[in-house]
Amino acid sequence: MSTTITHGDPSLAAASPPPPKRRTARASSVLVYLSPVAMFVVLTLTTPGVLSTTGVMSLLVLASVLGLAAVGQTWAVMIGGIDLSIPATIGMANVLVTTLYAEGWGFPRIVLLVVVVSLAIGTANGLLSSLFGLHPLVVTLGMASLVTGSVLVATDGNTGGDVPGFITDAVSPVGSVWGIGVPAAVILWLATLAVVLLVERRTVFGRRLYALGSNERAARLALVRPVVVRVVVYSVGALCASAAGVLLAGFSGGASVSIGDPYLFSTITAVVVGGTSLLGGAGTYARTVAGVLVTTMFTTLLVGLEIGPNMQQVMLGVAILLLITVYGRDRHVAQRL
Amino acid sequence: MSTPPLEPAVVELAGITHRYGPTVALSDCRLSIAPGEVHGLVGENGSGKSTVVKLLSGIMRPTEGEVRVGGKAVDLRSPAAAQRHEIVTVFQETLVSDECSGLDNVFAGTDGIFRRARSGRAEREAAERVVASLGASPAILQSSPHHLSLAERQVLTLTRALVRPWKLLILDEATSALDLSTRDRLFAVLADHRREGRSVLFVSHRMDELEILIDRATVQRSGRTVGTVGKDEATPARLLSMMSGRSDAGEHHVRAGARSRQAADVVLRGVDLSLVAQAPAFDLDVRRGEILGIGGLDGQGGSHLVEVLAGVRPTASGRVEVDRDGSWTRVTGYRQAFRSGIAYVPGKRQEEGLFPSMTVGDNLSMATLPRHARAGLFRSSSVLTRVREEMTRLGVVPHDPSYPITGLSGGNAQKVLVGRWLAAEPDVLILNDPLRGVDLGTKRDFYALLRELTEAGTTVVMLSTEIEELLTCCDRVAVCQAERVFDVLEGEDLTYDAVLAAMFGRHVSDEQSSDEQSSDHDTHRKVTL
Amino acid sequence: MSATVATPLLQTVARKVPYFVPALVAVAVMLLLTASESETFLSGGWKLVLVYASPLVLLAMAQAPVVLSGGGGLDLSVGPTAGLVSVVIAAVLIPRDLSVAWLVIVVALLTGAAAGAVNATLVTLVRIPPIIATLATYLVFAGLATQVLGAPTGFLPEWMSWFTSVDGVLPNVLYVILGVGLVWLLLTRTAYWRNLLMVGSNDRAAYTAGVNVTAVRFLAYLLTGVMAGVAGLVLTAVLGGADATVGPTYTLQAIAAVALGGLSLAGGRGGLFGAAVGAVLLFLIQNYLTLTEASSFELQMAYGVVLIVAIVANGAWDRKRKAR
């Protein structure tokens, strides 16, 4: 079975054209990973206060919350979907932790409950978006309403409560783990990053995730089960979003079902700034991490320049447009023929 | 080598060079199409002929050189601009919209943004005339094309081209989606147009079609124009040698007689099989180590049959069974079929096969990745070794697993797809029309590969729409007609005429005694223009 | 050429019946339920319901052309555009005594058109994927609106109360909706309709057939902007002033309404009528839940369930339609 068939004409090898897209893809990925560095330089020039351990750590803590929330968005986008239920999931975890802790539940028990609820949300999202080719945009939108409503009903709207001290420590810029001067939130994020990248690059599941995003029909015939992939993708996303929700409880002490709302657009923004194509089948969480760092520093920069939240929003919008114009443009119809 | 045209050219490409970034797709291309001629454009994949088609259809603009229409340089900046210069194109891919009616599909693009060019009635009458001349039912204009067959969809795009005012019609492998009878109707229609002075640029891999149709042919090789030859010179052997630059190119290895196989040695069988509801039931045996060809006109059940055998499509009634170590196991789905040693290479490469955003290596290893994995983690080195082996065996160019799949020519992409399933080392390999639209070089390699596989004990079931191909590489051929296997031909009985007759639901023995049948046969073999 | 197979009844019905019928049936059911729950509904209460539903109805209609135009067509910025229009009226025109009816209306339409033109340019000429382009303009428009108008205002010229009046046989706002519908109806009598559906369902086929895909899509975004402008005008009247934070909340509802109305989010199937029906349905569901004196918490929960069920039912219906 190992006989080689040589192609008749060796000149045909030369005739086979190198793909035109490859160079630009490389160039843009360099750009993506350099942009956090460039942004950091700009930030230190305008806001010198950032250049301290505490300054860097507080940036990283903010980035870890957004980073965890954006895991699900990245994978959802990579399989050609989108997840609008992330804010609701964040709010759910946030409220459950604070409310139940105040009622005297043990933290492990709370975590167990949050994990179970997250898996339920993810499974429902995955199953429903596999049904009849329903658009995940609408499915996750409905799921968001359902989750938020259920949490409110369950808690009767009394969403305040207590926060375990170690969560407050976890998000404190001066916090440390095992004597290393890095807050636990950042460690958690780095660990998640490592696992997510390992799954993307070295596992059968990771390859199937890309295959599903690239061509669903072909993926099915290549023995991929789209339902399974979707359920895992949305479940992992919900778990990470819940982690972000728990961490958020450490910031203010107060809790709210709507605490996750800003993360609807900021997770999409991070994915987009990282350059993961919304068409699916390509991209990686590593890019989203670059996007998370850039957007976090960008916001800090604008705050440092005393630009109000409204104009921050405007400038973020403009920045997205500029970035995408540089490396994320669609092809013209003619180029798809 | 070129024969000068007698009259000024309708359309001319003068010194055209086209680059994609640093890659030269076309260099110094010269092509001149005379009024009233059918001009063949031939070349293997990657020879630049699809670039020529795109330039003439207004999909791309050349980097250098001029496109001339009626002697004047023109800028074909869009398909609409090409149509204003009366150049219309029908592509291999059936470009129809499923949400618009057939009629809207035909006339879309003839209007302005708001202004309608003609009344609904005028549209319907014009379209019905063309559809009828192609032998299709005018009903296809009324409904949305959801439910139409591939051939009927292509009739819509042909109609789209023919209802417009045109001087040059480009058929870019457009006949590969047609069944034989529609194709012959089309050729007859083209003959009429040709007499009215209209020209056709005919791009096809099928030598029999070229032989029937063309007046002159231009040959492309590796982005360069080799030359233009007149009808007398344009024999298959001559064209093939010009295309490949070799002198032996016309040789197909014809399978030296079917090796006799024990009838008992059946590896896969269909029992009381019925492909669609209410279709007649039949039995089919696939013998170990043979190449069983599946033939038939488009839409007559051939595609359904391979899908049913592979477990991709449920049977309407009856069952498919595979031999697992001496006992018969029923095939209930393609995952289970795969576990039972059946691998299925799907037909529509772009829609059902390839992962466009991934590399050659990822595409090739997708189905067999779990075999290289422990606890879900795969060993890259082990995967890569296997991928390289398959790429070497199949002769995939370039030999680089990290190359993006979209950078490969159609033939090479098809090899990768076949490699995905060969890597699984199946007992039975089922291929759904693997060589549609593939260049001759790949076909030759492919025939050799199939032989090699069967010698090692693999069984192959292959659907093909080309009779020559079935004759070239199959031991037996099952011809489908009206959603059933009409006849299984082998040995002495496996001839061109027999396969063709079976496609139309007749046995050769009937045909000899009936004039009607032989006229049917004639239409196919020699449509004269 | 293709084998004729007997088709089951339900499938035949699904194929024959227009895309918006399931939503229309659901609206009828909701009307019955609402009427049985509220005594005043039939005797005029429905007019008020329609007035409150009108911004959503108009925004769902506004969403339709871009969704129809395919290629992932979507306008996340419709809500903020309406909000921005409202802010321009309340914070720019009225304080300067520029509150003549014709001027306000023209400015509202022009502001909407300008927002639409920005989106159109970004999506069709710069070729930024619609969801990203309109997410960015969502942020920009919403940010600008809040920047211009920090706190809600409530001074409106007298004539604007015309929009919310329910004294006539029909609520006045219905004439606005019908007016937009009429303009669209006229548009569908032109070649634009065929162009839009062709581009929406298969842009490559449309392009090779000679359709100017870029122009058709550009116009779709422009139309969406203009209609969002109308919605902004009505929103201002319904709110009795301007509140920069209200507009954006409509965006996701408008998309849900479009999906409920039977339009395909992949493009090429549906129409403005379906979008309007979907919006009415969405509003009636919310309204009914309020009527039954459910707490706002239960309301939100039930809303999610109903949305999911409705989308699943719609998907099942579409599956039947497409089945071979």
H/E element holding B74? strand B72-74
Contact B100, B108 (CB under 8 A): yes
Answer whether residue C7 shows pLDDT above 70: no
The closest alpha carbon to B146, from B177, B112, B105, belongs to: B105
**If you average pLDDT over residues A232-255, what whole number do you get?**
91
Q: How many helices (H) and strands (E) does chain C have?
A: 13, 0
Sequence spans of domains, chain B: 266-341+426-525, 353-425
What residues of B are in contact with residue C185 (Cβ under 8 Å)?
none
* pTM assigned to the model: 0.83
Which fold is adopted by the domain C16-322? Answer: ABC transporter involved in vitamin B12 uptake, BtuC (1.10.3470)
Q: Is the pLDDT of residue A228 over 90?
A: yes
- Provide the residue count of chain A: 337
Whether A141 maps to a domain, the answer reads yes
* pLDDT value, residue A169: 87
What is the gyration radius of the CA atoms in chain A, in angstroms? 22
SS3 of residue B73 by DSSP: strand
Q: What is the rounded CA–CA span in Å between residue A251 and residue A259? A: 11
* Predicted local confidence at residue B523, as pLDDT: 39
Cis (ω within 30 of 0) for the bond into B398?
Answer: yes
Q: How far is C141 from chain B (nearest CA, A)?
A: 30
Provide the pLDDT for residue B436.
Answer: 77
CB-CB contact of B90 with B158 (8 Å): yes
Confidence at residue B509, expressed as pLDDT on a 0 to 100 scale = 64
Return the H-helix or E-strand segment holding B89.
strand B87-90
**Chain B 331-390, CB below 8 Å of chain A: which residues?**
334-335, 338, 344, 346, 351-358, 362, 365-367, 369-370, 373, 376-378, 380, 389
Report, as an integer, the average pLDDT of B282-305: 89
Of the pLDDT bands very low, low, confident and very high (cuts 50, 70, 90), residue B12 is very high
Please give the pLDDT value at position A253.
60
Which residue range is the domain that position A293 belongs to? 53-321
Give me the residue from C202, C212, C268 closest to B113, CB to CB.
C212
Measured in degrees and rounded to the nearest 5, phi and psi for residue C299 equal -60, -50
DSSP B439: -
pLDDT reported for residue A164: 86
CATH of the domain at A255: 1.10.3470
Q: What is the 3-state secondary structure (H, E, C) of A281-313?
A: CCCCHHHHHHHHHHHHHHHHHHHHCCCCHHHHH
- C-alpha span between B45 and B52 (Å, rounded): 12
Q: Identify from A197, A210, A223 which residue to disrupt to test chain B contact, counting B C-beta atoms within 10 A and taking the largest count.
A: A223
Nearest CA in chain A to C74: A137
Average pLDDT, chain C: 89
Residue A13 pLDDT: 36
Chains that touch B (3 or more CB pairs under 8 A): A, C
Which pair of structure tokens corresponds to residue C94? 């009225």
Q: Is the pLDDT of residue C50 over 90?
A: yes
User: Tokens in use for B15?
Assistant: 């010194």
Q: Which of A287-291, B202-206, C102-106 has the lowest mean pLDDT?
A: B202-206
| Cβ proximity of B125 and B181 under 8 Å | no
Q: Is the pLDDT of residue B204 over 70?
A: yes
Facing C128 at nearest CB: one of A321, A333, A334: A321
Pairwise CA distance, residues B263 & B257, whole Å:
17
**B 315-334 residues with CB below 8 A of A?**
334
Number of domains composing chain A: 1
Contacts C71 to A, Cβ<8 Å = 330
Report residue A174's pLDDT band, with 50, 70 and 90 as the boundaries.
confident
For chain B, give the mean pLDDT: 86
Q: At C15, is the pLDDT very low, low, confident or very high (cuts 50, 70, 90)?
A: confident
Tell me how many residue pairs between chain A and chain B have CB atoms under 8 A apart: 152
Q: Where are the beta strands (DSSP E) in C193-313?
A: none
How does pLDDT run across B229-262, given as a tens digit for each residue? Answer: 998 888 877 887 787 776 543 444 444 444 444 4
Q: Is residue B130 exposed (0-12), middle (13-18) or buried (19+ Cβ within 10 Å)?
A: buried
Closest CA to A121 of A243, A237, A213: A237
pLDDT tens-digit series, residues A67-117 = 999 999 999 999 989 999 999 999 999 999 999 998 889 999 999 999 999
DSSP output for B236-269: HHHHHHHHHS-SSTT------SPPP--TT-EEEE
Look up residue A18 and give its DSSP letter: P
Q: Which residues contact A109 (CB under 8 A, 6 or more apart)?
A: A100
Give yes or no for residue A190 having a pLDDT over 60. Answer: yes
- Tell me, which fold does domain B266-341+426-525 have in CATH? Rossmann fold (3.40.50)
- Band (B4; pLDDT cuts 50, 70, 90): low
Indicate the domain borders of chain C: 16-322
pLDDT tens column, B494-529: 988 888 778 777 776 654 444 444 444 443 433 333
User: Which whole number is the average pLDDT over B18-31?
Assistant: 83
Residue A334 lies in a domain: no
Helices (H), A79-162: 86-102, 107-130, 136-155
Mean pLDDT to the nearest integer, B19-26: 78
Q: Cβ neighbours of residue B211 under 8 Å, at least 6 residues apart? A: B234, B235, B236
**Average pLDDT for residues C2-16, to the nearest whole number?**
61
C-alpha closest to that of A71 among A225, A287, A260, A250 = A287
Q: Measure Cα distances from B345 to B311, B435, C129 in Å.
A: 12, 11, 33
Interface residues of C toward B, Cβ cutoff 8 Å, are: 1-3, 5-6, 187, 190-192, 194-195, 197-198, 200-202, 204-212, 215-216, 219, 264, 268-269, 322, 324
**Tokens standing for residue C5:** 């197979």
Weakest-pLDDT range from A284-293, B292-301, C279-288: B292-301
Rounded to the nearest angstrom, the minimum Cα separation between A80 and chain B is 12
Are B85 and B78 in contact by the 8 Å Cβ rule? The answer is: no
Residue B391 has pLDDT above 70, yes or no: yes
